[in-house]
Amino acid sequence: MSEGQPVVSEGASVQAAAVRGVKLYQLPMFSDHRGSLAVGEFGAFLPFVPQRYFITYQVPGAHVRGEHAHRECAQLLTCVRGGCTVLVDDGVRRETFRLEDPRWGLLVPPMVWAAEYDHTEDSVLVVFASHPYDGEDYVRDYAAFQRMAAEA
């Protein structure tokens, strides 16, 4: 890449997944001799303005994170280093996504079960949440989640 010729991606795009409400966002990317920049504007292109974020890292590859759904909270997951696999499940359909490029963000809406696994040694997963932490918002029992999802 020459110093005078920046590379710009085609822009943002959104792909619906098979699991209800789950979407894969391809974020705009800009790259030149100084490096690359991926952009996501909350409230404009992305679906919510975050009230909280958290980062998982140094997760041993065999361990699973998540394994729950939220009643009200939506989350947008992006792996900014390394990679991990995300399983999403709406009680009827399941799908997996491999996140290993910071240009991609996965929207997990309320009442979708999510689990993150198969982390690379250097993985850094950033999760933006639509709501502040509330322990009562979590559904941690899969059988209970399935009953709730069937009623929705």
Residue 90 CB-density burial (10 A; 0-12 exposed, 13-18 middle, 19+ buried): buried
Domain 14-151 -> CATH class: mainly beta
**pTM for the full model?**
0.88
Mean pLDDT of residues grouped by 10 in the chain (152 residues)? 48 87 91 87 86 95 93 97 97 97 96 97 96 98 96 84
Report which of 57, 67, 76, 26 is spatially closest to residue 119, judged by C-alpha positions: 57
Please give the positions annotated as active site. Answer: 68
Domain residue spans in the chain? 14-151
Query: What does the block give as tokens for 95?
Result: 């799908």
